[in-house]
């Protein structure tokens, strides 16, 4: 039985003060929450966040990681460094990394591999643009993005990670995919993995991301192949983030 995971992606938002207030606000509201919960702040706040979360059920993750271990890669942060900061998860291949920073499927797969090697749980983001959906190639796009990881690491590597299906047209737009649209793609992802390894397919959590809010989370999370959410905007206040966690509890 897969558990529901709700992970907050703070993106480039916050300050030390906001980190403390938001993390403490989440911790204060955890008594009714039975989902798995994670927050993914910017790099400079990871260590502070894991210090605040120590002893709680809430986990911390990064929003990215280098595919490199060390060396002359100015500005990069390795998966080992993220692990050493006390993190559990690492988001890789977010659509903003792909579209704004030119990260390819192969680069994302290499980041997935580096995170996994460091003992982090990679959260692999996949999803189509509006143009791709309208062209009817959603499944091709998502399959290509997942296959890049399978080709590099083998299908069993997916059992060490989490997949987040995030239609690009639904991210930060207020346009959530309908529960049926989301379920259809989640079921496609799971069946594609099952064709290679049914135990991996049964185990891997597949999150939905894209304008999830407290009032639409419950119906999404009730779908058989939706195992939680990757949350952007609504992860920036304790009230809305906890509202989503409660919807999955």
Active site residues: 94, 166
Window of 69-77, 107-115, 185-193, 225-233 that interacts with ligand PEP by CB under 6 A: 225-233
Among 64, 166, 225, 227, binds ligand PEP (CB under 6 A): 166
How many Å apart are CA 214 and CA 232, to the nearest integer?
12
CB of 243 to ligand PEP, least distance (A): 13
11 vs 117, which CB is nearer to ligand PEP?
Answer: 11
Asked whether position 41 contacts ligand PEP by CB under 6 A, the answer is no
What number of chain residues touch ligand PEP (CB under 6 A)?
13
Two tokens at 97?
């990394």
Among 5, 9, 81, 148, binds ligand PEP (CB under 6 A): 9
Q: What is the number of the residue whose Cβ is closest to ligand PEP? A: 232
Among 14, 61, 210, 228, binds ligand PEP (CB under 6 A): 210
Contacts of 26 (CB under 8 A, 6+ apart): 37, 39, 58, 238, 241, 242
How many Å apart are CA 6 and CA 207, to the nearest integer?
8
Among 41, 167, 232, 248, binds ligand PEP (CB under 6 A): 232
- Per the listing, tokens 């009032």 go with 215
Alpha helices in 10-161 (DSSP H): 16-28, 46-53, 79-84, 95-101, 105-117, 130-135, 138-153
Two tokens at 70?
């060390």
Asked whether position 230 contacts ligand PEP by CB under 6 A, the answer is yes
């Amino acid at each position: 039985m897969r558990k529901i995971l709700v992970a907050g992606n703070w993106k480039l938002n916050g300050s030390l003060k906001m980190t403390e207030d938001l993390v403490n606000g989440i911790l204060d509201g955890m008594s009714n929450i039975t989902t798995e919960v994670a927050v993914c702040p910017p790099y400079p706040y990871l260590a502070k966040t894991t210090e605040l979360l120590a002893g709680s059920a809430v986990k911390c993750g990064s929003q990215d990681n280098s595919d490199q271990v060390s060396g002359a890669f100015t500005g990069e942060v390795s998966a080992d460094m993220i692990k050493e900061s006390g993190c559990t998860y690492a988001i890789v291949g977010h659509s903003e990394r792909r579209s704004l920073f030119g990260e390819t499927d192969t680069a994302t797969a290499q980041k997935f591999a580096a995170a996994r090697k460091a003992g982090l749980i990679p959260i692999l983001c996949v999803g189509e643009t509006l143009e791709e959906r309208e062209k009817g190639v959603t499944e091709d796009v998502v399959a290509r993005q997942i296959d890049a990881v399978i080709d590099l690491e083998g299908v069993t590597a997916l059992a060490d990670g989490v997949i987040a299906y995030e239609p690009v047209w639904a991210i930060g737009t207020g346009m959530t995919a309908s529960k049926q649209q989301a379920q259809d793609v989640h079921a496609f992802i799971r069946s594609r993995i099952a064709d290679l390894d049914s135990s991996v397919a049964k185990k891997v959590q597949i999150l939905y991301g894209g304008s999830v809010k407290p009032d639409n989370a419950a119906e999404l999370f009730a779908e058989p192949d939706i195992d939680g959410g990757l949350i952007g905007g609504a992860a920036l206040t304790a009230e809305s983030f906890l509202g989503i966690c409660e919807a999955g509890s």
